[in-house]
Amino acid sequence: MSLEFVLASHNAHKVREFQRIIGERMPQAVVLPYDGPEPVEEGVTFDENAFIKARTAAAHTGRIALADDSGLLVDVLGGAPGVFSARWAGRNASDEANVRLLLDQLGDMRRPHRGAEFHCTIALVVPEALLPGGHEFAAEGSWRGALAFEPRGSHGFGYDPIFEPEGVERTAAELAPEEKNAQSHRARAFAALLPELERVAGLVGG
Q: Inform me whether the pLDDT recorded for 1 exceeds 60.
A: no
pLDDT tens sequence across 72-131: 999 999 999 999 999 999 988 999 999 999 999 999 899 889 999 999 999 999 999 999
**Contact, 57 vs 65, CB < 8 A?**
yes
In angstroms and rounded to an integer, the radius of gyration of the C-alpha atoms of the chain is 17
Which residues are catalytic, by number?
Answer: 69
> What are the residue boundaries of the structural domains of the chain, listed by start?
3-205
**What's the confidence (pLDDT) of residue 206?**
56
pTM, rounded to two decimals: 0.91
Which CATH number is 3-205 given?
3.90.950.10
**What's the confidence (pLDDT) of residue 109?**
94
**What's the confidence (pLDDT) of residue 165?**
97
Q: Inform me whether the pLDDT recorded for 190 exceeds 90.
A: yes
**Contact, 50 vs 67, CB < 8 A?**
yes
Residue 30, SS3 per DSSP: strand
**What's the confidence (pLDDT) of residue 23?**
83
**Contact, 85 vs 147, CB < 8 A?**
no
